Amino acid sequence: MSENGRRDYQGSKIGMWLFLFTELMLFGGLFILYSGYRSLHPESFHHASRELNVVLGVANTLVLLTSSLFAALALTSVQQGRHSDGAKWAWLTAGLGGVFLVVKAFEWGAKFSHGIYPGGKALLALPPGEGLFYGLYFTMTGLHGLHVLAGVVLLSVMALLVGKGRVHQGDCVVLENSGLYWHLVDVIWIFLLPLFYLAA
């Protein structure tokens, strides 16, 4: 039990973990839809999945995994009192998040230019199962992309705060929580990659 009024490190982390549970459930609803429709249309999911660019998907996975490493390094540096290193790693994490989004934008753009977007002519001409695949693809990677965007903003703010000395060795729970969030975003992508890119 904590004393009231003092900063409660453990409490902040409990709060963050609860928030991460809600994120899991948020995506969980979409994973339920995915499993339902995939079992209804296994053939279509197979065909549609082949159209996605596996190379870019895997490249983006590596980008995110590396960024997670950087997020962990940022926290460790700050915990060890190496604040300028901490700020540097946090900036790099945010930067890799940006790279992920740019790659994602190119992927979406390529699909859009072929008329593959919700309501697009080429998409409507496909069998219903493939339409559902892309409906879920855009929804899930879109929602994930929004989370990456939020993470980029969050980690940039963290980098600034570490740089200014507002987050430091003695008080870095916000950085730790931001790192937890970033790892969650990473973990969700690790499920999205096989379900969409490697389903063929």
Q: Which stretch binds another protein (CB under 8 A): 88-96, 101-109, 131-139, 190-198?
A: 131-139
Complex with another protein: residue 70 or 137, whichever CB lies closer: 137
Among 139, 163, 174, 191, binds another protein (CB under 8 A): 139
Number of residues that bind another protein (CB under 8 A): 41
What is the smallest separation between the CB atom of 189 and another protein, expressed in angstroms? 17
Long-range Cβ pairs for the range 174-177 (8 Å, 24+): 174/12, 175/74, 175/75, 175/78, 175/86, 175/90, 176/13, 176/75, 177/12, 177/13, 177/16
Q: Which two tokens stand for residue 112?
A: 């859009």
Residue 55 lies near another protein (rule: CB under 8 A): no
Q: Is the dihedral of CA 195, 139, 23, 83 positive or negative?
A: positive
Sites for another protein among residues 82-121 (CB under 8 A): 118-119
**21 or 106: CB nearest another protein:** 21
Q: Does 181 bind another protein (CB under 8 A)?
A: no
The one segment of 51-59, 81-89, 127-135, 154-162 that binds another protein by CB under 8 A: 127-135
Calpha distance 4→2 (Å, rounded): 6
Q: Which range touches another protein (CB under 8 A), out of 19-27, 88-96, 102-110, 174-182?
A: 19-27
State yes or no: residue 51 binds another protein (CB under 8 A): no
